[in-house]
Amino acid sequence: MLEFIKIINSDYAGVLSLLSSLIMVVVTIIYVGHTKRQANYAKESAELVAKQIKIDKQPCIVPYVTDSYGSVWDATDYTRMQLGFTIKLRNVGDSPAINVYTLADIELQFTEDSDGNKKLLPASLLPGFVQALSADEETEINIHFETSEIKALICELRKASEKNWERLRTNPSHHHYTGAKLIVRVFFKNLMGQWCESTISHEIAWLEYKNPPPRKTHNLNENTIPPQKIREGDEFKAVLSSHHIAPFVFAMTTDKHVIDVLQGYTDESPWLSAALKDNCT
């Protein structure tokens, strides 16, 4: 047996040495690979924690409709109407919001678009824009609607009024009909470059004269529009549902969605087109 070992030792010593070296190399490679994976895992964990900390500190802008104002005047060849809203934007989050865009639409409840959806009447001019809004900071944005949108709104409110009178006569326990809604959307970025969207919705109950004369009867609709009509020189305002019952929605969104929403305004503004290209791509 001893002689056999001596033969192996003398004849295969080089082979055994080579095998030992190869085994050590393989073990070393495995160890290095495992160590690298551990290092990468530790790095990814640290980055994930840092990212989570940033995610936990998010901006959250809440829009509040604080006032409305409308007027009618003679524009030479036609009677022009405007209805504006003052919207307060407040960042209730704990991180700054950047590139803040504010849009508003009137959603008609009885009129549909070509796709069968409730028709939206967009506010005039460009979306309101604020470069940045710090945590706990607030600002005001003014938006307004023009003659064609106001005429469509009044028509829709008249339909709702007629339906509600019929409802009171035939089925008073049925929920009231809503003629239109004011929908305010705010798009903004967090510090990680992710887009967020805040949406609030108010029911537009009716329009009423700004400084109405004393009522001559007990009819609550004596100074409301409809059934009354708007005439040249009138000043009026929109009566909205209370902000206490206005649904508010906050969500993360995508570059594509923001581009799709704002794209319709780019033809009117080369600046907005360039801003979308810089901030959304």
Which residues, including other chains, have CB under 8 Å from residue 250's CB and lie 6 or more apart? 60, 196, 197, 198, 199
pLDDT at position 20 is: 64
For 187, half-sphere exposure in the C-beta direction (CA atoms, 13 angstrom radius) is: 22
Chain mean pLDDT for the chain: 80
pLDDT at position 86 is: 96
pLDDT at position 127 is: 85
Provide the pLDDT confidence category of residue 1 given band limits of 50, 70 and 90: low
What's the whole-model pTM score?
Answer: 0.73
Q: Which CATH number fits domain 57-280: 2.60.40.10, 3.40.640.10, 3.30.1200.10, 3.40.50.280?
A: 2.60.40.10
The pLDDT tens digits of the residues spanning 38-71 come to: 556 555 654 554 555 455 689 999 999 999 999 9
Which residue, among 240, 249, 64, has the nearest Cα to 140 in the 3D structure?
Answer: 64
Amino acid residing at 119: K
CA distance 169 to 172: 7
Name the percent of the chain lying above pLDDT 70: 74
Residue with tokens 């704990």: 94
Name the percent of the chain lying above pLDDT 90: 37
268 or 227, which is more confident? 227
The pLDDT tens digits of the residues spanning 99-155 come to: 999 999 999 988 877 777 888 888 887 788 999 999 999 999 999 999 999 999 999
Amino acid residing at 82: Q
Which residues, including other chains, have CB under 8 Å from residue 271's CB and lie 6 or more apart? none
Residue 155 is classified by DSSP as H
Kindly tell me if the per-residue pLDDT of 269 is higher than 60: no
C-alpha pair distances (Å), 265 with each of 85, 131, 218, 261: 20, 18, 46, 9
Instruction: Find which of 182-196, 210-224, 265-279 is predicted with most confidence, using mean pLDDT.
Output: 182-196
